[in-house]
Chain A
């Protein structure tokens, strides 16, 4: 999952307030001018001035005197209308049928079935609820105008603000109830779909043994390989496969594990027997369930008639809401040790000189997403420094001795060799000066660096010990002391910590992005996170309802549906359109590409220089510019989609939700004001 920005609500709001103000002012001036032009066309320039002034003069009391009781009455009516037309019931039935029969076609034997389930319910809910929102909002007002029922409303002291707001709130409330119900059922569906237990099956190679007993396990003939030919861990003595459930089996390993008396003992339930060695170490003979399909199971040993019988508990590893503690910024250094650029928490990229850039920070390894910057291998100076703030043990449960650090690094290979060979990387911890200008401040650095192997597309967890070997160095670079230091009390004494990532293999590159290295705090509640994921759909739904109602103030039902659908599609595809091939690159813009397609011309071949070609290229420039501009007018639905957080099991930060909510609210309010003027200046009986 790419975490391109880690928003902070207050920073975002204060940063956007001027932009929102400027846009509002432009829209107001533009709206007044447009209104004046239309009125001039209808009434002439002098009368138009009077008309526009009277509309503006009436607008202020209309907004200020909007009555909650009238809004509530219209909202209730809108909701009743939708309920009695049975459109809600039909939507719910489709959803229920999809869940009833859709479950048959979900392949839960894949590597991560949780993703498949979550994808299915989220996509299904999103599709249905957005279609419902579009339908009920686009039909209501035009139908009222067509049937003239609106006559009995606007001849009461009802303001245009109340007509629009009432409808938005009525449909919004109704869709909210339905969405909440769908979310609840979806949660049950996912939970029911993923919950399973494996039965122990009799071993054909050892049919006399009691099913599930240790004696029914297959022997290991050579270390790492069982009699059955299956690969096992190095310390495995016996192994057995469980019964098939949800399209997968787990391998159970009966292992011999030696631990010192000071070590944390393994889970007692999984231990078959233990022995104490002469040197005091303890040997644990226990059963381990190997992960499959993204989860594992708790093992419980039961003694029955002198036999140790293995029982497996419910699935573990699903329904996570990991809480990452992300860094404040990432600094990239070249192989010469020179700062190449910075990626801020807000997702902003800056060059070493502090200029904003959209290019890759760090080494660019070619045509790849610019999310990750790459680091040279085997050079101590080429590195990425992740700076953390508010780093304290309280965020990890107080007295935790093991701190999980998770990484999902990118790898770029300049020589392949064995393609599945892992690349070596290292991390080092360093304290950060409280005052960057204070030259007298000493610092801690962990030494030696922690070297590990990594692969592309892999999320790995390193467990960092709270006590780290390292050095205490004064401002002049002279070592004060060395030994074990505390990650929180020494390295992060001022609440700041630097994690330095390097690539250790010569000629290879490690790629790091803003969200690629993070500490993992205690997991949060899954069901809450699940509902947070639905809040994103709720924002999208409210925008669609508002768009539908506002468009229907001046358009007919079919045109409203078409217009709203276009905006929604544009909103979902905005990123794709912005990334569309620029007219100056190979193949040209949309028109040139079409010409090449029809005339079967090569993408890279230069087109013949002529007036027509120039005209076409210029038209492409305008076309792409217009399309790009349109994407900024349409709401960016991608930013309101939190499904990837649920799919990958990450906690959705409240700030992220609040920023999305504030942006949606601002958009809906803008649309509402626009809708007000459209309805106010419309002849209802015209």
Chain B
């Protein structure tokens, strides 16, 4: 049965690819492309209310994690909705896999996690995933197997028969992610994927995003949690008031070209002073030699990990405590 479905899916993808042959401009390495994409919201009488997106031109390549950054109202969600065909562009085009974003067949290869995990609260986790599996025309046996796999993957096996209305926000996000992955998509669109998750959940989500990228999938995420974007994204686009302000690789964009950082381990104090003198001799300015700090996230995760390994009271560093006093 599984091989039968695989064959059916391959057939469907083949059909899809064949349909793309009619589009001579289609480059299989470009998963998403927007051309002069503009969205204007109007009121009932057709009067312009707000220009949410202004002439957006960008490309998202196969196998990368692409982040859409921007403050509230900058057009991130509008872009995602335009890519999904939930909104129609006022002018310009949005192409996904070389097809118009309003084309239904493109959704065969897309997974979408909305901002608030808009799911049916009266369904259980199992029923939810089974329902979405049916929407992909998956046969019963494959669907059951896939549902079990995904529930295990997002760590909800213990709550799979509970209605979603009894779920916490974090659990809802997990089941939301599972529904986005039910069809093993090639392109995953994540709207604020870490919102509502605790630090462990956030880390797991980020790890999962990177794992998906490593599997060759393309991930597009929008978020205003800059640290999350920085941690996982290969490329980002920064939007402000509907306009594209910056686009490029995260590494390049964050590189401070006029500063130098030297890292080493167990450096004696004398050597540190020697280095400082060498730097002064060469005319270096704003010299700062100090021990690096870990992130709060790292600290928190280390404590949790440690606590899991050694349950019970944990010794708190007394020096720190007295310093505070």
Contacts and interface: CB of A to CB of B under 8 A. Distances in A.
Interface of A: 41-43, 54, 58, 62, 67, 69-70, 72-74, 76-77, 80-81, 84-85, 147-159, 683-686
A683 B86 contact: yes
Nearest to A680: B102
Interface of B: 41, 46, 81, 84-88, 90, 100, 102-105, 107-108, 110, 112, 114, 116, 118-120, 122-123, 127, 131-132, 134-137, 179, 183
26 contacts: A43-B90, A54-B102, A69-B137, A70-B137, A73-B135, A76-B131, A77-B120, A77-B131, A81-B120, A84-B122, A148-B118, A149-B118, A149-B119, A151-B114, A152-B132, A154-B84, A155-B84, A155-B107, A155-B112, A156-B107, A156-B136, A157-B105, A157-B136, A158-B107, A684-B87, A685-B81
B119 A685 contact: no
B88 A683 contact: yes
Contacts of A43: 90
Given A42-B46, A157-B105, A152 B137 contact: no
Contacts of A74: 135
A54 B112 CA distance: 25
Nearest to B107: A157
A685 B118 contact: no
A686 B41 CA distance: 8
A62 B104 CA distance: 9
A60 to B, nearest CB: 13
Given A149-B119, A152-B119, A157 B87 contact: no
Contact of B179 (A150, A152, A686): A152
B108 A148 contact: no
A173 B131 CA distance: 18
Contacts of A85: 122
Contacts of B41: 686
A152 B112 contact: yes
A686 B87 contact: yes
A152 B114 contact: yes
Contact of A156 (B100, B116, B122, B132): B132
Contact of A148 (B88, B103, B107, B114): B114
Given A73-B134, A73-B135, 17 more contacts: A54-B102, A58-B103, A74-B135, A77-B123, A148-B116, A151-B118, A152-B112, A152-B114, A152-B119, A154-B85, A154-B86, A155-B84, A155-B86, A155-B107, A156-B132, A157-B104, A157-B135
A14 to B, nearest CB: 38
B294 to A, nearest CB: 38
A306 B88 CA distance: 96
A85 B121 CA distance: 11
A74 B135 CA distance: 8
Contacts of B104: 58, 62, 157-159
What 8 A-B pairs come out closest when comparing CB atoms?
A73-B134, A685-B86, A148-B118, A156-B135, A84-B122, A157-B107, A155-B112, A149-B118
A42 B43 CA distance: 12
A70 B130 CA distance: 11
A69 B134 contact: yes
A625 to B, nearest CB: 30
B112 A151 contact: yes
A159 B104 CA distance: 7
Contact of B87 (A73, A77, A683): A683
A155 B87 contact: no
A477 to B, nearest CB: 77
Nearest to B111: A155
A74 B136 CA distance: 12
Contacts of B114: 148, 151-152
A44 to B, nearest CB: 10
